[in-house]
Amino acid sequence: MRIRIAHETVYRYDTPATKAIQILRLMPRNHDGQYVVRWRVEVSEDCRVEPREDAFGNLTHTFTVDGPISELAVRVAGEVETQDTHGIVRGTREKFPPSFYLRQTDLTMPNAAITDWAGEIGDGGKRPALETLHALQQAIYANFKFDVNATVPSTTAQQAFANKHGVCQDYAHIFCSAARHLKIPARYVGGYFLRGDGIVDMESGHAWTEAFLPDLGWIAFDPANGICATEAHVRIATGLDYLAAAPVRGTRYGGQGEAMAVKVTVDQASRQSQQ
Protein backbone atom coordinates (compact mmCIF):
# COMPACT_ATOMS: atom_id res chain seq x y z
CA MET A 1 0.00 0.00 0.00
CA ARG A 2 1.27 3.46 -0.78
CA ILE A 3 0.61 5.99 1.95
CA ARG A 4 0.97 9.71 1.55
CA ILE A 5 1.67 11.79 4.64
CA ALA A 6 1.68 15.52 5.29
CA HIS A 7 2.49 16.77 8.79
CA GLU A 8 2.60 20.44 9.58
CA THR A 9 3.44 22.04 12.94
CA VAL A 10 3.12 25.82 13.20
CA TYR A 11 4.17 27.87 16.23
CA ARG A 12 2.97 31.46 16.54
CA TYR A 13 4.11 33.97 19.13
CA ASP A 14 2.29 37.13 20.23
CA THR A 15 5.62 38.71 21.09
CA PRO A 16 8.37 37.27 18.92
CA ALA A 17 10.79 34.71 20.32
CA THR A 18 14.48 35.64 20.25
CA LYS A 19 15.85 32.18 19.57
CA ALA A 20 14.68 28.63 19.07
CA ILE A 21 16.24 25.18 18.91
CA GLN A 22 14.51 21.96 17.90
CA ILE A 23 15.39 18.34 17.41
CA LEU A 24 13.01 16.61 15.02
CA ARG A 25 12.37 12.89 14.75
CA LEU A 26 10.25 12.97 11.64
CA MET A 27 12.17 10.89 9.14
CA PRO A 28 11.24 7.26 8.40
CA ARG A 29 13.77 4.57 7.53
CA ASN A 30 13.42 1.56 5.30
CA HIS A 31 12.92 -1.91 6.71
CA ASP A 32 11.07 -5.07 5.75
CA GLY A 33 7.54 -4.01 4.85
CA GLN A 34 8.36 -0.28 4.69
CA TYR A 35 10.03 1.56 1.80
CA VAL A 36 10.36 5.34 1.78
CA VAL A 37 9.54 6.52 -1.75
CA ARG A 38 10.10 10.21 -1.08
CA TRP A 39 10.31 12.32 2.08
CA ARG A 40 11.00 15.95 2.86
CA VAL A 41 11.46 17.83 6.13
CA GLU A 42 11.27 21.61 5.82
CA VAL A 43 11.73 24.43 8.29
CA SER A 44 10.12 27.77 7.45
CA GLU A 45 12.97 29.94 8.72
CA ASP A 46 16.45 30.29 7.25
CA CYS A 47 18.73 27.95 9.13
CA ARG A 48 21.10 25.07 8.73
CA VAL A 49 19.43 21.75 9.46
CA GLU A 50 21.82 19.11 10.74
CA PRO A 51 20.81 15.54 9.91
CA ARG A 52 21.96 12.96 12.44
CA GLU A 53 21.20 9.54 13.83
CA ASP A 54 20.20 9.26 17.47
CA ALA A 55 20.93 6.62 20.08
CA PHE A 56 18.14 4.35 18.88
CA GLY A 57 18.95 4.66 15.19
CA ASN A 58 16.24 7.22 14.51
CA LEU A 59 17.02 9.90 11.95
CA THR A 60 16.97 13.37 13.48
CA HIS A 61 17.14 16.92 12.20
CA THR A 62 18.52 19.57 14.50
CA PHE A 63 18.30 23.29 13.86
CA THR A 64 18.68 26.61 15.64
CA VAL A 65 16.92 29.79 14.52
CA ASP A 66 17.77 33.35 15.51
CA GLY A 67 14.90 35.73 16.20
CA PRO A 68 12.81 37.66 16.05
CA ILE A 69 10.54 34.71 15.33
CA SER A 70 6.84 35.38 15.22
CA GLU A 71 6.02 32.23 13.33
CA LEU A 72 7.90 28.98 12.92
CA ALA A 73 6.65 26.10 10.82
CA VAL A 74 7.98 22.58 10.39
CA ARG A 75 6.52 20.75 7.41
CA VAL A 76 6.93 17.11 6.54
CA ALA A 77 5.65 15.54 3.35
CA GLY A 78 6.29 12.16 1.78
CA GLU A 79 5.18 8.83 0.54
CA VAL A 80 5.88 5.39 1.94
CA GLU A 81 5.23 2.01 0.35
CA THR A 82 4.16 -0.56 2.96
CA GLN A 83 3.42 -4.27 3.12
CA ASP A 84 1.68 -6.28 5.75
CA THR A 85 4.19 -8.38 7.74
CA HIS A 86 1.70 -9.64 10.34
CA GLY A 87 3.27 -7.36 12.86
CA ILE A 88 6.74 -8.85 12.56
CA VAL A 89 9.37 -6.12 12.41
CA ARG A 90 12.58 -7.08 10.59
CA GLY A 91 15.40 -5.31 8.88
CA THR A 92 15.46 -2.41 11.33
CA ARG A 93 18.57 -0.74 12.63
CA GLU A 94 19.27 -2.28 16.03
CA LYS A 95 21.85 -0.68 18.29
CA PHE A 96 21.17 -2.54 21.52
CA PRO A 97 20.46 -6.09 22.52
CA PRO A 98 16.79 -6.70 23.32
CA SER A 99 17.55 -6.94 27.04
CA PHE A 100 18.20 -3.19 27.04
CA TYR A 101 14.49 -2.66 26.41
CA LEU A 102 13.64 -4.13 29.79
CA ARG A 103 14.61 -0.81 31.29
CA GLN A 104 11.77 1.25 32.71
CA THR A 105 11.82 5.03 32.48
CA ASP A 106 10.15 7.81 34.46
CA LEU A 107 7.23 7.57 32.04
CA THR A 108 6.83 3.78 32.13
CA MET A 109 7.78 2.97 35.74
CA PRO A 110 5.04 0.66 37.02
CA ASN A 111 3.37 0.85 40.40
CA ALA A 112 1.62 -1.94 42.28
CA ALA A 113 -1.59 -1.38 40.32
CA ILE A 114 0.21 -2.01 37.02
CA THR A 115 2.33 -4.92 38.25
CA ASP A 116 -0.70 -6.66 39.80
CA TRP A 117 -2.64 -6.19 36.59
CA ALA A 118 0.27 -7.37 34.43
CA GLY A 119 0.87 -10.34 36.72
CA GLU A 120 -2.74 -11.38 36.38
CA ILE A 121 -2.65 -11.16 32.60
CA GLY A 122 0.59 -13.11 32.52
CA ASP A 123 -0.95 -15.65 34.91
CA GLY A 124 2.08 -15.50 37.17
CA GLY A 125 4.41 -16.37 34.31
CA LYS A 126 2.47 -19.49 33.33
CA ARG A 127 0.91 -18.01 30.21
CA PRO A 128 3.02 -18.18 27.02
CA ALA A 129 4.65 -14.84 26.21
CA LEU A 130 3.06 -14.23 22.82
CA GLU A 131 -0.37 -14.94 24.21
CA THR A 132 0.32 -12.65 27.15
CA LEU A 133 1.29 -9.80 24.82
CA HIS A 134 -1.89 -10.20 22.80
CA ALA A 135 -3.90 -10.30 25.99
CA LEU A 136 -2.18 -7.13 27.24
CA GLN A 137 -2.98 -5.40 23.99
CA GLN A 138 -6.62 -6.43 24.15
CA ALA A 139 -6.95 -5.55 27.82
CA ILE A 140 -5.77 -2.01 27.13
CA TYR A 141 -7.87 -1.70 23.99
CA ALA A 142 -11.02 -2.92 25.72
CA ASN A 143 -10.72 -1.17 29.08
CA PHE A 144 -9.29 2.24 28.32
CA LYS A 145 -11.21 5.14 26.93
CA PHE A 146 -9.59 7.16 24.16
CA ASP A 147 -9.61 10.78 25.26
CA VAL A 148 -7.43 13.45 23.68
CA ASN A 149 -8.03 15.91 26.51
CA ALA A 150 -7.16 13.54 29.31
CA THR A 151 -3.39 13.67 29.13
CA VAL A 152 -0.31 15.75 28.35
CA PRO A 153 3.08 14.58 27.01
CA SER A 154 4.41 14.18 30.56
CA THR A 155 1.60 11.91 31.73
CA THR A 156 3.09 8.73 33.15
CA ALA A 157 1.90 5.16 32.68
CA GLN A 158 0.85 5.15 36.32
CA GLN A 159 -1.34 8.22 35.93
CA ALA A 160 -2.90 7.04 32.69
CA PHE A 161 -3.50 3.60 34.18
CA ALA A 162 -5.29 5.09 37.17
CA ASN A 163 -7.42 7.37 34.96
CA LYS A 164 -8.38 4.55 32.61
CA HIS A 165 -8.29 6.90 29.69
CA GLY A 166 -5.72 8.62 27.51
CA VAL A 167 -4.25 8.76 24.03
CA CYS A 168 -2.23 6.25 22.03
CA GLN A 169 0.93 7.47 23.73
CA ASP A 170 -0.44 6.52 27.14
CA TYR A 171 -1.57 3.14 25.85
CA ALA A 172 1.92 2.50 24.56
CA HIS A 173 3.47 3.50 27.90
CA ILE A 174 1.16 1.19 29.83
CA PHE A 175 1.93 -1.65 27.43
CA CYS A 176 5.70 -1.13 27.75
CA SER A 177 5.45 -0.81 31.51
CA ALA A 178 3.56 -4.07 31.88
CA ALA A 179 5.57 -6.04 29.32
CA ARG A 180 8.89 -4.98 30.83
CA HIS A 181 7.63 -5.89 34.26
CA LEU A 182 6.91 -9.37 32.84
CA LYS A 183 10.53 -9.49 31.61
CA ILE A 184 9.56 -9.06 27.98
CA PRO A 185 11.61 -6.37 26.21
CA ALA A 186 9.29 -3.67 24.85
CA ARG A 187 9.69 -0.31 23.18
CA TYR A 188 7.72 2.71 22.14
CA VAL A 189 7.10 3.45 18.46
CA GLY A 190 6.03 6.78 16.99
CA GLY A 191 4.66 7.07 13.46
CA TYR A 192 1.52 7.45 11.39
CA PHE A 193 -1.58 5.34 10.95
CA LEU A 194 -3.88 5.20 7.94
CA ARG A 195 -7.35 4.92 9.38
CA GLY A 196 -9.79 2.39 8.08
CA ASP A 197 -12.79 4.68 8.38
CA GLY A 198 -11.79 7.07 5.61
CA ILE A 199 -10.90 9.96 7.94
CA VAL A 200 -7.59 11.37 6.69
CA ASP A 201 -7.14 14.57 8.70
CA MET A 202 -5.99 14.29 12.30
CA GLU A 203 -4.46 16.30 15.08
CA SER A 204 -1.39 14.18 15.65
CA GLY A 205 0.58 11.16 14.56
CA HIS A 206 0.18 7.74 16.10
CA ALA A 207 2.02 5.68 18.69
CA TRP A 208 2.24 1.97 19.34
CA THR A 209 4.74 -0.55 20.69
CA GLU A 210 7.06 -3.36 19.79
CA ALA A 211 7.86 -6.32 22.01
CA PHE A 212 10.63 -8.85 21.62
CA LEU A 213 10.28 -12.63 21.70
CA PRO A 214 13.40 -14.74 21.18
CA ASP A 215 11.92 -16.93 18.43
CA LEU A 216 10.01 -14.24 16.55
CA GLY A 217 12.05 -11.13 17.07
CA TRP A 218 10.32 -7.74 17.38
CA ILE A 219 6.55 -7.75 17.00
CA ALA A 220 4.47 -4.59 16.72
CA PHE A 221 1.43 -4.27 18.97
CA ASP A 222 -0.99 -1.37 18.64
CA PRO A 223 -3.08 -1.29 21.82
CA ALA A 224 -4.96 1.81 20.65
CA ASN A 225 -6.38 -0.16 17.76
CA GLY A 226 -6.27 -3.59 19.34
CA ILE A 227 -4.27 -5.07 16.46
CA CYS A 228 -0.72 -5.92 15.53
CA ALA A 229 0.75 -3.34 13.16
CA THR A 230 -0.35 -3.71 9.57
CA GLU A 231 0.43 -2.09 6.26
CA ALA A 232 -1.51 0.92 7.57
CA HIS A 233 1.29 1.74 10.04
CA VAL A 234 4.21 3.93 9.02
CA ARG A 235 7.03 3.62 11.50
CA ILE A 236 9.11 6.74 12.18
CA ALA A 237 10.99 6.49 15.48
CA THR A 238 11.47 4.13 18.42
CA GLY A 239 12.83 4.46 21.91
CA LEU A 240 12.31 3.56 25.54
CA ASP A 241 9.35 5.95 25.78
CA TYR A 242 7.68 8.93 24.18
CA LEU A 243 10.54 11.27 25.07
CA ALA A 244 13.10 9.18 23.22
CA ALA A 245 10.93 9.01 20.11
CA ALA A 246 9.21 12.41 20.32
CA PRO A 247 8.60 14.00 16.90
CA VAL A 248 9.78 17.37 18.24
CA ARG A 249 11.85 18.32 21.26
CA GLY A 250 12.67 21.97 21.42
CA THR A 251 13.09 25.14 23.40
CA ARG A 252 12.45 28.75 22.58
CA TYR A 253 13.94 31.79 24.23
CA GLY A 254 11.79 34.84 24.92
CA GLY A 255 8.48 35.14 23.13
CA GLN A 256 5.11 35.23 24.81
CA GLY A 257 1.77 33.72 24.03
CA GLU A 258 2.76 30.63 22.08
CA ALA A 259 0.06 28.97 20.01
CA MET A 260 0.81 25.67 18.33
CA ALA A 261 -1.23 24.22 15.50
CA VAL A 262 -0.66 20.68 14.23
CA LYS A 263 -2.17 19.27 11.08
CA VAL A 264 -1.59 15.69 10.03
CA THR A 265 -2.96 14.14 6.84
CA VAL A 266 -2.54 10.42 6.21
CA ASP A 267 -4.06 9.20 2.97
CA GLN A 268 -3.68 6.42 0.48
CA ALA A 269 -1.74 7.75 -2.50
CA SER A 270 -3.75 7.64 -5.73
CA ARG A 271 -2.48 5.73 -8.74
CA GLN A 272 -1.64 8.91 -10.65
CA SER A 273 0.70 10.24 -8.02
CA GLN A 274 2.43 6.88 -7.81
CA GLN A 275 4.00 7.45 -11.24
**Distance separating alpha carbons of residues 50 and 217, to the nearest angstrom:** 32
Q: Report which secondary-structure segment, H or E, holds 43.
A: strand 34-43
Q: How many CB atoms lie within 10 A of CB 268?
A: 13
Cα-Cα-Cα-Cα dihedral of 156, 231, 181, 204, to 10°? 0
> Rounded distance, CA 62 to CA 126, Å?
46
Can you tell me the distance from the alpha carbon of 211 to that of 224, in angstroms, rounded to the nearest whole number? 15
52 binds another protein (CB under 8 A): yes
Least Å distance, CB 153 to another protein, is: 8
User: At 58, phi and psi to the nearest 5?
Assistant: -75, 150
* Complex with another protein: residue 90 or 95, whichever CB lies closer: 95
Pick the binder of another protein from 110, 190, 191, 250 (CB under 8 A): 250
Among 44, 64, 159, 265, the residue binding another protein under the rule CB under 8 A is: 64
Q: How far is CA 266 from CA 67, 88, 91, 210, in A?
A: 32, 22, 24, 22
What is the bridge-based pairing of β-strands 186-193 and 201-202? unpaired
Q: Is 251 in the site for another protein (CB under 8 A)?
A: yes
How many CA atoms within 13 Å lie on the side-chain side of 121?
23
| Beta-ladder partners of 245 | none
Binding mask 130-159 for another protein (x = CB under 8 A): ------------------------x-----
Does residue 253 bind another protein (CB under 8 A)? yes
Interface with another protein in residues 5-24 (CB under 8 A): 19, 21, 23
Q: How many residues bind another protein (CB under 8 A)?
A: 29
Q: Note whether 39 binds another protein by CB under 8 A.
A: no
Q: Does 117 bind another protein (CB under 8 A)?
A: no
Residue 56 beta carbon to another protein: minimum distance, rounded to whole angstroms: 7
* Binder among 202, 243, 262, 269 for another protein (CB under 8 A): 243
| Contacting residue, 75, 96, 111, 216, with another protein by CB under 8 A | 96
Rounded distance between C-alpha atoms, residue 234 and residue 209, angstroms: 13
Residue 46 carries which DSSP code?
S
Query: Please, what is the minimum distance in Å from the beta carbon of residue 246 to another protein?
Result: 9
Question: Of the candidates 20, 24, 23, 1, which has an alpha carbon nearest to the alpha carbon of residue 11?
Answer: 20
Tell me the closest approach of the beta carbon of residue 64 to another protein, in angstroms.
5
Region from 46-54, 162-170, 196-204, 260-268 binding another protein, contact rule CB under 8 A: 46-54
State the minimum distance, in angstroms, from the CB of residue 201 to another protein: 28
Report the interface residues with another protein, using CB under 8 A: 19, 21, 23, 47-48, 50, 52, 54-56, 62, 64, 66, 95-97, 99-100, 102-103, 106, 154, 240, 243-244, 249-251, 253
